[in-house]
Amino acid sequence: MFEATTRQIRVTVEPAYVSEQSDPRRDYYFFAYTVSITNTGDVPIQLMSRHWIITDGTGQTEEVEGPGVVGQQPTVKPGETFQYQSFCPLPTPTGFMQGSYTMVTAKGEQVEVQIPKFVLAEPSQYH
Residue type, position 44, single letter: P
Distance, in Å, from the CA atom of 27 to the CA atom of 66, rounded to the nearest integer, reads: 27
Q: What pLDDT sits at residue 126?
A: 59
Q: Which domains does the chain have, with CATH numbers?
A: 2-122 (2.60.40.1470)
Tell me the whole-structure pTM to 2 decimals: 0.93
CB burial of 7-24 (b: ≥16 within 10 Å; e: otherwise) equals: eebbbbbebebeeeebee
Task: Encode pLDDT of 8-17 as tens digits.
Answer: 999 999 999 9
Task: Encode pLDDT of 43-72 as tens digits.
Answer: 999 999 999 999 999 999 999 999 999 999
Our measurement of the distance from residue 6's CA atom to the centroid of its chain's CA atoms, rounded to an integer in Å, reads: 14
At residue 125 the predicted structure's pLDDT band, cuts being 50, 70 and 90, is low
